[in-house]
Chains A and B, each alone.
Chain A
Amino acid sequence: MTLSNVDLTNCEREPIHILGSIQSYGYLLAILPDTYTIVHASDNMADLLDISADQLLGQSLGSILAKTDLSVNALVELLNVGRRSGSWDSMNPHQFVINEKAWNLIIHQHNGLIILEWEPIGDHNPLRNQQLIAQALTEVQASRTLADLLQNTAQRVKKIIGFDRVMVYRFESDWHGHVIAEAKEPHLEPYLGLHYPASDIPRQARELYKVNLVRLIADATSTPSRILSQPGWPEDHPLDLTHSVLRAVSPIHIEYLKNMGVQASMSISLLYRGELWGLISCHNTVPRFVDYPARQAAKFVSQLLSTALEFRKDEEDQSNLLLYRQHGQYIHEQLLIDENVVQALTKRSHTILDLTKATGAALLFNNHIYRLGKTPSEVDIRALADWLKASDTETFLETSQLAALYPPSEEFRDIGAGLLAIVLSKELNEYVFWFKSEQIQQVTWAGNPDKPLTVGENGQGRISPRKSFEAWTQTVRNTSEPWSEAEVSTVIKLREDVLQVITKQANEIRVLNQRLQLAYDELDAFSYTVSHDLRTPLSSIRCYSEILLEEYGQDFPPDAHVLFQKVIDSTERMRALIRHILYYSRMGRTELNTEPIDMRHLLEGIREEILVTAKDRSLTIDIGDTPPITADETMAIQLFTNLLSNSAKYTRLSPEAIIHVTGKQTDGEVIYSVEDNGIGFDMKQAGKMFDLFKRLENARSFEGSGVGLAIVKRIINRHQGKIWYHSEPNRGTTFYVSLPIATTS
């Protein structure tokens, strides 16, 4: 066998409850409950009864034992009582004297057989055990820290059983073990704080620990005694030693103990809610027998500890939950006060980092990342969010092995091996993340992982349990401490709180929208009134002025003519203003019907119109390149009409007015420029140029309402475009307009 194909699971496959032998310090008989006929006997029975196991098999208990000085009647009587009551525990151990030596008899019934086991009576003092138990009880009742309680329990158990070393060993969720308390002889190397791989205590051994709470290996070096069966007893019915106190030890476990320099061991199970959460593991460097009452006393102490732990652990869970809830409550209050998710979650005295045991947390909100504690980089978090978005996670994700789900996270496993995440909005890519670091960093290894495999005398390589750390390292790579229920429930609650605030804000916006809609409707009505009710009397003023001039003008003095002309001009200006205001309000909200526009056609149309009104002066409108734009046609006409007629207006004083319009296409946008040689303006003044009704100082003598460029700006905004300009007084102005190239939808 080579090192590479060592079978790590050989421990898992060993049928340790039917090994077919017992430890040689005791003796075993199995009898049928009805007839008390012996069907199994340990090979060493001759040492106890002077009758060989062979002779015992198939015989009735009474007839055999009659030949010894064991009191047959007393034993049969005991069995009868036990059978009638259906309970054996209360009578264990029963002291018997055989061949002038006292033995403890321990009886149990299992799988259709009554099993009798004799073991030596130790040198213990029952009174002392009772005192120790009483002390243990007092201690459990006293309110101490969990660490103290465990440490003192280890001391107490050590006192009861007298071993060199007693450790409290706790299983983690992946079943690897961790020494959390230890009582030992001073000369021994401390094991406290060490971690052991899960394979050290294989699954079926853990199952047995749940059934058999106390387990003694008195002498790992002794040769076990085989169990013989009645001739003809079916071969597929080996004696089930699940509840046996003498059950022999698996060779693998013996080797494990030898590796540790241990010759006697005892373990006592610690259960939490029916599940194995730990062991009290006891080692002795030389063989040592612990008699039944002392084992029972140790078991009792450990049961006390288990019970205390259930309460303490519940309390601990409860207090963690309370703590997280309390923080959750603070954050909820912050949310209600701030109504600002980022602020409430990351910037106040309580943050999302307080909600779990995570070492880092991050909020991705409004496309910004806010990090607290130890977290992956922004780039890594964004990639993680992308992955989460593509996953089927709808509310939350909880994992202590992120890399198994999302391999790229291995890059930052030291700070993010475990992830707890809540989804605020998949559409908006908004999440909260909590990170836990890789557990392996916190582990102190028991044994040297670099030690080579031991090769047995027969040349067979067998993995030695204490040397399988490397395998363990492989299995816990990329693994964090798991997320507790309290942590998960707290962040789910947070999610609800945040969503509630977001929904509330959305509702407020909806109400605002409704009000805005209402305001728009009113504005609509207003616009209509302006357009009709104001324009109608204005037309009357205009028309009657014209009629007066036409029909009675010949009787007017020249001054009256001038005055009438002023009335007519004023109505004209007012008409233009009303028209512009209407356009401006319409541009804000009429639907956009964007389409590709033939710009040459559009610009030539506008040029024609402008030239008609400017026919009494020298005006050239030069049209250069005309790449198409994608826009609402009506608005585009409005936009370029306003720009060109502005240019035309402000070149009125130039003897040769020249306007040059040209476009060019760049990456993602089309830019048009309208250049003139007009009066220009001071760039310092131009800040408010696009504001409604704002006009520049040097434009005072030119007619205008101050609405035209505001309309232009609005149209540009509606199309997600940009407008800018360059100008110098008396040297003309260039306006630039850029519109994005529409992506084909």
Chain B
Amino acid sequence: MADVLYIEDDANDADIFSRLMQKLQRPITYTILSSGAEAVDYLTGQGQYQKQITPLPKLLLLDLNLVGLSGIEVVQRARILDRTRFLPIIAFSTSDNPSDIRSAYEAGINAYVVKPGTYQATGKLLSRLYDFWLENNTRIDNK
């Protein structure tokens, strides 16, 4: 199972993310899913993931503005289930609208990060995120 699960429906953003991951040259595995519905199936072992018993990622990076099931809804579903209730979820969004930030926290995210919008800044940001969430953060891991 990957360390980082990234839910992003914008192909460019996903591509830039992948490039940055390679550039980081750190032993971090990741999976990118392009829709909220697929993310929920993945986390709950349903649909195309029915047969796979996958361990949870150490960190979920979640774009909020998704086509179909929104990021907020993904958080709400995750927080209902015992398995994913304490999964670290970071909202990773273009929006800095206070109302978006508020509703994301209300749904149960652990942190909110506004996409910096530049390649270099995004790279630095990801590096800092991994330092903390993958190295320093202690999780409760359900099997």
Residue ranges of A at the interface with B (Cβ–Cβ < 8 Å): 527-528, 531-532, 535-540, 542-544, 546-547, 550, 571, 575, 582, 586, 590, 634
Contacts and interface: CB of A to CB of B under 8 A. Distances in A.
Given A532-B65, A547-B19, A539 B115 contact: yes
Contacts of B120: 546
Interface stretch (B8-16, B28-36, B47-55, B135-143): B8-16
Chain A's interface: helix, strand, loop or mixed, by majority?
helix
Interface of B: 10, 12-13, 16, 19, 65, 94-98, 115, 117-120, 122
A538 B117 CA distance: 8
16 contacts: A527-B97, A531-B94, A532-B65, A532-B95, A535-B94, A536-B10, A536-B12, A536-B94, A537-B12, A540-B10, A542-B119, A543-B118, A543-B122, A544-B16, A544-B119, A582-B97
Candidate in A532, A539, A542, A590 with the most chain B CB atoms within 10 angstroms: A539
Given A539-B13, A540-B12, 9 more contacts: A528-B97, A531-B94, A532-B95, A536-B94, A539-B115, A539-B118, A540-B10, A540-B13, A543-B119
A591 to B, nearest CB: 11
Top 4 A-B residue pairs of the complex, sorted by shortest distance between their CB atoms:
A546-B119, A543-B119, A540-B12, A539-B117
Contacts of A590: 98
Contacts, number: 52
A527 B96 CA distance: 12
Given A532-B65, A536-B13, A542 B97 contact: no
Contacts of B16: 540, 543-544, 547
Contacts of A527: 97
B95 A539 contact: no
A183 to B, nearest CB: 92
Contacts of A537: 12
A532 B119 contact: no
Contacts of B96: 531
Contacts of A634: 98
Contacts of A531: 94-97
A715 to B, nearest CB: 15
Nearest to A549: B119
A1 to B, nearest CB: 90
Candidate in A537, A543, A550 with the most chain B CB atoms within 10 angstroms: A543
A446 B96 CA distance: 90
B119 A550 contact: yes
B116 to A, nearest CB: 8
Candidate in B65, B118, B120 with the most chain A CB atoms within 10 angstroms: B118
B94 A542 contact: no
B119 A528 contact: no
Contacts of B117: 535, 538-539, 542-543, 571, 575
A539 B12 CA distance: 9
A543 B98 CA distance: 25
A465 to B, nearest CB: 86
Contacts of A539: 13, 94, 115, 117-118
Contacts of B118: 539, 542-543, 546
Contacts of A536: 10, 12-13, 94
A586 B95 CA distance: 13
Nearest to A534: B94
A7 B132 CA distance: 105
Nearest to B17: A543
Nearest to A539: B117
A694 to B, nearest CB: 26
Nearest to A538: B117
A545 to B, nearest CB: 8
B91 to A, nearest CB: 13
Nearest to A582: B97
A335 B13 CA distance: 63
B65 to A, nearest CB: 5
